[in-house]
Structure 1
Amino acid sequence: MRAFTTLDGLVAPLDRANVDTDAILPKQFLKSIRRSGFGPYLFDDWRYLDHGEPGRDCGSRPLNPDFVLNQPRYRGASILLARENFGCGSSREHAPWALEDFGMRALIAPSFADIFYNNCLKNGLLPIVAAPDVVERLFAETAAAPGYRLQVDLAALQVVTPSGEAIAFTLDPFKQHCLLNGLDDIALALRHAGQIQDYEQARRQREPWLFN
């Protein structure tokens, strides 16, 4: 997993509440269990004017000019600003995979669905919960200033606006440690690889009939 320390990123505002995981990555793209290659299909039903299918070249598909991520001023955005209950619906881990593969590194919203929130943290994507009035102000500032950027400092647990205002946020200390060091569940387990190997060897000697 890619570590997250600091980010100076362009902000894209997705002004919709209750965005579910089927909107983030529609169901027809769930056939692959790889963590890469989903970026072109992010928000597929909203980004394109036609129906998308896995393996199709998205470069020639007609884009919806009204969708925020297709607008030139938001190209290259790495911070997604959203409304409440972002990531609701099914528990598909493909949703944060698609966001991360597209180039998003942080999400800011008043609230996130619990499973989606934890799936983001396990895949190097930082979901930041901010007060509704703060989110409302960020939407207004983003709309008013093309090229609007935010600085995110995970160690300090703060977001800094262009005016220098520091917006504090909270995160479980263990999840913060894992994200800062790029430790997903597999990496955490591999830190104990020697102990696991010792256990398996001892068990093979103690219960050899299990390994015939």
Structure 2
Amino acid sequence: MNTKTTLIEGIAAHLAQANLDTDQIMPKQFLRGIDKQGLAAGLLYDLRFYPDGKPRPDFILNLPDYQNASILVGGANFGCGSSREHAVWGMQQFGIKAVIASSFGEIFYSNAMNNGLLLVMIPDESIEQLMTGAGKAPVRLTIDIEKLKVTNGHVSVSFHLSERHHKMILNGLDMLGSSLLYKNEIISFADKWHEQRPWLKDVARTVREKLN
């Protein structure tokens, strides 16, 4: 059951690294499974851990104050690189509910929004205003999805979402859930299509029956 979400609130971890690509967000060794499970362990693995597997004590997500961070603040061109949907799933499993950056890789943006991970695109100067004080004490941000605003309690910044993405995030819908809103229209279209082209209906089932 989809749940309407109007606010995302939490500690924001500032990872100000430009061009952080999907290979870094989710390294290849964590892509061996046939399902989505267990990807939280691989999130930003080479940044979070030394080659021997020990945590890097100075990496922000390893710091005690940031281990429950639910908002990631990134650098420009966040999520560039290969089309790796696992990067989005890993973030969600890790507990990241939103990513804020001045720009995103195009494929990553689509993957994230279609899976219900909110991406907020705002200028670098606005990010700097929101994150003032980061590094001294954790900054808590509130993202108002209905009003399309993000605030640290002192500074408020507006952002934009397409109508489709706004509706999906607000109502907790992924791409499949969003498509199912048009179930009746899809069925009606399919019925009319097959009325005009009956030889195309249930082709796979017909072929299987003949082969058997």
TM (norm. structure 2) is 0.84
Give the unaligned 5+ runs of structure 1.
52-60
Distance of aligned partners of 1:132 and 1:196 in 2 relative to their CA distance in 1, 3 Å threshold: closer
What residue identity is the alignment partner of 1:183? L
Shift of 1:76: 0.2
Matched, 1:177 2:167: yes
Q: What residue in structure 1 maps to residue 40 of structure 2?
A: 39
Larger RCO: Structure 1 or Structure 2 (Cα < 8 Å, ≥ 6 residues apart)?
1
Where 2:134 maps in the other structure, the secondary structure is: helix
Question: Which position in structure 2 is the counterpart of 1:143?
Answer: 135
2:144 to 147, 150, 153: 153
> Secondary structure, in 3 states, of the residue corresponding to 1:150?
strand
Q: How many residue pairs get matched?
A: 201
**CA–CA distance in structure 1, aligned partners of residues 140 and 106 of structure 2:** 27
Runs of 4+, deviation exceeding 6 Å: none
Q: Displacement of 1:2 after TM fit?
A: 6.7
Decide whether the 8 Å contact of 2:43 with 2:94 is kept in 1.
yes
Equivalent AA in structure 2 for residue 21 of structure 1: T
Give the letter aligned to residue 170 of structure 2: L
Aligned CA-pair RMSD? 2.4
- Distance in 2 between the 1:202 and 1:135 partners? 50
Long gaps (5+) in structure 2: 207-212
1:11 aligned counterpart, secondary structure = strand
Kept in 1, the 8 Å contact 2:130–2:151? The answer is: no
Match of 1:115 in 2: 107
Between Structure 1 and Structure 2, whose CA radius of gyration is higher? 2
Helix, strand or coil at the partner of 1:80: strand
User: Kindly tell me: are residues 2 and 85 of structure 1, through their superposed partners in 2, closer, same or farther at Cα, counting changes over 3 Å?
Assistant: farther
Q: Report if aligned partners of 2:131, 2:139 keep a CA contact under 8 Å in 1.
A: no
Structure-1-length-normalised TM-score: 0.84
Verify the 8 A CA contact 1:122 1:185 in the aligned structure 2. yes
Give the match's secondary structure for 1:143: coil
Alignment CA distance shift 1:49-1:177 (3 Å): same
Which residue of 39, 61, 70 corresponds with 1:69?
61
Equivalence map 1:86-125=2 (5 Å): 86-125=78-117
Matches within 5 A, 1:3-14: 4-14=5-15
Aligned 8 A contact 1:79 1:106 in 2: yes
